[in-house]
């Protein structure tokens, strides 16, 4: 086996040492993480929306989604604190995203927020994914990012600095990036599915919102906030819930947590656009 990493060539029997040599810590602090699993998900928080009462049902739906996906190899790893510091990932074949990346791991949400930034958490969480990629005999790691900063997507510039490379892009401003760990295991180059290649959705009139329970905020803000916002403005609205992997993998957008289209054109992944107080300001900038 040959491991590919920027500036490194590591024999197979040394691959397990790769990530430990790259982990960065601040001073002598130990970074303590836990995996949320089927066994502990009832008692462990999932970082987002755990104190937001209006999103209580959405939060439960995200936990249900996670519980189902754990059977498909999905991992939810977070800092063992009451904080928004976590990463989600699993086999790309099972990702709720319209991509083809056989024998890769796919990163979903990946956040380090607030006072926890610049303490090595991003590197440590990413390295955990790389280690799992090696252990599972994967070709590498992929994720979807924005060509500019998109909500609910990882920091593109930071990931490119870690060695990720752009392997496909869409007219809607999204890129699929990959980090090849073992080039001998690449079955085919990662790419977007045909459904996202045009950057538009089939419905050409009014607002169309695609969403899933991958996020604990989405259900509430689409079914409550956006419905109210569109109604106040007499804008036609169609909401499409991606409630199966098959639907998500055939979606016209790779942002399957939430994507808003207007008259067929992609507009934003920013969930706050759903709110009456934010809608006009956000849409005016797009």
Residue 184's alpha-carbon distances to 8, 9, 103, 136, 143, in angstroms, are 15, 13, 11, 14, 20
pTM of the model: 0.89
Say if residue 11 is in the same domain as residue 148. Answer: yes
Say if residue 167 is in the same domain as residue 210. Answer: no
**Which regions of the chain are under pLDDT 70?**
1-31
Q: How many domains does the chain have?
A: 2
Choose the final residue of a domain: 146, 175, 194.
194
Say if residue 138 is in the same domain as residue 70. Answer: yes
Chain segment 236-267, per-residue pLDDT in tens: 999 999 999 999 999 999 999 999 999 999 99
How many residues does this entry show for the chain?
Answer: 286
Say if residue 121 is in the same domain as residue 146. Answer: yes
Say if residue 163 is in the same domain as residue 49. Answer: yes
Q: Give me the domain span that covers residue 268.
A: 196-285
Choose the final residue of a domain: 194, 215, 249.
194
Chain segment 101-124, per-residue pLDDT in tens: 999 999 999 999 999 999 999 999
Say if residue 28 is in the same domain as residue 82. Answer: yes
Q: Judge contact between 256 and 240, C-beta under 8 A.
A: no
Find the CATH number of the domain harbouring 6: 3.40.630.30
Q: What is the pLDDT of residue 152?
A: 83
Say if residue 6 is in the same domain as residue 92. Answer: yes
Say if residue 89 is in the same domain as residue 129. Answer: yes
Say if residue 156 is in the same domain as residue 69. Answer: yes
Q: What is the pLDDT of residue 148?
A: 87
Q: What is the pLDDT of residue 29?
A: 54
Say if residue 157 is in the same domain as residue 207. Answer: no
Say if residue 235 is in the same domain as residue 96. Answer: no
Say if residue 187 is in the same domain as residue 272. Answer: no
Find the CATH number of the domain harbouring 221: 3.40.30
DSSP 51-99: T-GGGHHHHHHHHHHHHHHHTTT-EEEEESSSSSEEEEEEEGGG-SSSE
The C-alpha angle with vertex 121 and arms to 156 and 129, in degrees rounded to 5, equals: 70
Q: What is the pLDDT of residue 197?
A: 93
Choose the final residue of a domain: 170, 194, 218.
194
């Amino acid at each position: 086996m040959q491991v590919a990493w920027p500036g490194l060539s590591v024999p197979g029997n040394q691959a397990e040492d790769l990530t430990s040599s790259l982990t960065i810590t601040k001073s002598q602090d130990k970074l303590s993480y836990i995996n949320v699993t089927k066994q502990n998900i009832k008692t462990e928080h999932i970082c987002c929306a755990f104190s937001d009462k209006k999103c209580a049902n959405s939060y439960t739906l995200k936990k249900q989604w996670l519980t189902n996906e754990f059977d498909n190899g999905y991992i939810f790893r977070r800092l063992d604190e009451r904080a928004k510091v976590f990463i989600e990932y699993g086999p790309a074949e099972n990702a709720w995203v319209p991509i083809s990346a056989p024998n890769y791991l796919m990163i979903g949400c990946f956040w380090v927020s607030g006072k926890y930034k610049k303490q090595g958490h991003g590197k440590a969480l990413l390295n955990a994914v790389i280690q799992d990629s090696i252990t599972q005999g994967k070709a590498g790691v992929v994720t979807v990012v924005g060509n500019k900063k998109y909500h609910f997507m990882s920091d593109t510039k930071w990931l490119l600095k870690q060695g990720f490379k752009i392997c496909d892009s869409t007219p809607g401003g999204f890129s699929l990036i990959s980090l090849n760990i073992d080039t001998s295991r690449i079955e085919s180059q990662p790419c977007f599915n045909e459904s996202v290649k045009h950057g538009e959705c089939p419905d050409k009139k009014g607002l169309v919102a695609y969403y899933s329970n991958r996020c604990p905020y989405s259900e509430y803000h689409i079914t409550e906030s956006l419905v109210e916002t569109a109604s106040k403005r007499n804008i036609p609205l169609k909401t499409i819930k991606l409630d199966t992997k098959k639907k998500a993998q055939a979606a016209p957008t790779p942002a399957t947590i939430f994507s808003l289209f207007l008259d067929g054109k992609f507009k934003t992944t920013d969930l706050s656009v759903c709110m009456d107080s934010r809608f006009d300001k956000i849409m005016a900038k797009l």
